[in-house]
Structure 1
Amino acid sequence: MTDRPGAEPAGRERQEIRAVPVRHPGRWVAVAVLAVLAAMLVHTVLTNERFGWDVVGNYLFSAPILNGLRNTLVLTVLSMAIGIVGGVGLAVMRQSPNPVVSGAAATYIWLFRGTPLIAQLLFWNFLAALYPRLSLGVPFGPEFISVDTNVLITQFAACLLGLGLNEAAYMAEIVRGGMLSVDRGQAEAAGALGMTRSQTMRRIVLPQAMRVIVPPTGNETISMLKTTSLVVVIGYFELLTSAQRISNQNFQVIPLLIVAAFWYLVLTSLLTIGQGFVERRFGRGFVPDRPGSRLLSRAVNT
C-alpha cells in the first residue's frame, strides 16, 4: 500500500515549526541613546533660566510680533503668486519652438537663479540710484509716462519684486519638469483633433502635470515663508525684523528668536498639512507602486 502524495511517512510524527523572532540589539541601543538625549534636552530647556520663557510668553502675542507675522504672510502669498504665474509663463516660453522666445526664458532663469537673492533685493531697493525716473514711451522719442522711481519702488514693492521674480525662475523649472512628465503623444493627439498649442497646454498638458508640479510647489511655498526673513537687509518690517527690533531694545536676543521660531514652525506646520490635502486632490486616480501592491494585483488577477 503506497502512501498518498503529501502524506507524512509512516512512523514519523508531524512536528510544529517553532519560529524564533530575529533579535535586533542595535535598535534597543539606538532607542536608549535617543531617550537619554531627549531627557537631556528636556532637562536643559526646563532648568536653564537663560531661555527666558517668561519673556517668550510676554511677547508671543504682542502687537509688534503679530504685525510682523501679518506682513510675513502677505509677502509669502503675493510673492508665491508672482512666482507661480511667472513660472508658468516662463515654462511655456522654454517649450516654445521659437528659439528667440525659448532663449529669452532661458536667459531669465539663468540670471535670476545665478545671483544671490539678497543682491536682488538690494538691487530693487536701490533702483533709483540707477534710474532716478522710470518712463514709458518710444525709444529716442516722446515719453508717455514718467514717474519718480522712489515713489514707485517702495520697500514693499522691492520685496515683492525681489522675492517674486526670483521665485519665478525656480517655478519655471518645476513647471517645465511637470510638463515633460506628460506623454508627448497626448499633445500630438490634441493637435490632430484641431486644438491650438495654448488649448493643448491649458486643457491637456497642465492638468496632468499638476500631480508632478504640486509637491515641489508646496516645498517652495514653505521655503518662501522662511525666505521672507531676508528682507531684513532692506529694513522691511516682517516677523524676524520685528523680533530683532524688540531684542535691540531689551537685549533679550534668545527669547525673541524663540518667539520668531515658534511662529515659523506653526505656519510651516499648517502649510505642510495643506500641502498634503492638495497633493491628494491632484493625485486622484494615480496609484503609486507601494510595497505589496504588485502582490495584491497578482492575487486579484488569479
Structure 2
Amino acid sequence: NPHGDISWECFDCHNTESWNVIKPEIAFKHEKTGFPLIGQHAKVACLSCHKNLAFSHIASACVDCHTDIHRGQFGNDCQSCHSPQNWESKHDVFELHSSKGFPLVGLHSIADCNACHINQQKNEFAMTPVQCRGCHESNFKTATDPNHTLAGFSADCQSCHQPVAANWNNSTYQHPAAFALHGAHAKIDCASCHATQFAGLSNQCVSCHENDFNATTNPAHLTFGFPTTCETCHDDVSWNRAQFDHLQASNFELRGAHINIQCIACHIDNQIHDLPTNCYGCHQNAYMQATNP
C-alpha cells in the first residue's frame, strides 16, 4: 500500500478502471483522521497537503502547511486569530485591541491600521509601541501653543490629553494652583503669557500687563503714581470691573451720580492729590448758572 498504514478501503477512493482515477464522490471521511475538512480545506486538492502518497501521520499544525508570515510574532497557534474559513482575523479588531491593553477609543477608533502599524505591509503587528510618543512624537515636537519641547513637558501625553478626546485641543492640563486660570486668563492662548518660556515666570500682574498700566488714561495710572499691584483694584474677569476704594484713598465717598462719571471729570489734567472735596470746588459753574431758584 503506497499510502502507508491507513484503515480505509481502496475502493473508498479508487475504482477498477485505474489507480489514477479518483472517484468524484470519495467515500472516505477525512474527519476520521481527527482533521475534518471544513472551510477552505474542503476546496483544495489532496496533493496540496499530501505531497506524496503517504497519507498517514501527516502533521496537522497550521504552520506545517502554511508559511508564518508573522515570523513567530504571535507564536504558532494560528487558530487563536484565524479560522479555516479565511485568513481574516476571527476577532473584532476593537475586541482584539482591548484584550491587548490598548482599547481603540476616540480618534484611535477611526484611524487607519497602518497609521500605527507602519509595517503592516510586512505583516508585522507585534511590538508596536503603546506609549503615545511612539506614534505622536512629531506632534509633540511641532506643538507651538504651548511649545512642548521648549517647556520641557513630559512625554506622557495622557498627563494632559485623553485618547477619548476629539482632538489635541481638549487638554486636561491644570495650571498650578499658585496661578489658577480664571476669568479672562482662562480664555487666552498660552503663548500670550508664555512667549518664550514656561518655568520661572513671575505671577505678578504687571509682569504681563505693564503696557496696559502705562497706557491707561482714565485715570492715568503712571501719572497718578498708582501701585503696580493691579489686583488692588482689578480682578481677572475684566479691567473695567475696578474696585478702587475712593473713600479709603481720599476720604471722599463716591455716591449717587459720582459713581457713574469718569475719573477725569473731577481729576482734570490728571491731578489726583489736593483736590477740594466740597461741592463748590467742582460744581462752581453749575452754582453760578442756576436760575430756579
The TM-score, its normalising length taken from structure 1, stands at 0.16
Tell me: higher relative CO, structure 1 or 2? Use CA pairs within 8 A at least 6 residues apart. Answer: 1
The TM-score, its normalising length taken from structure 2, stands at 0.16
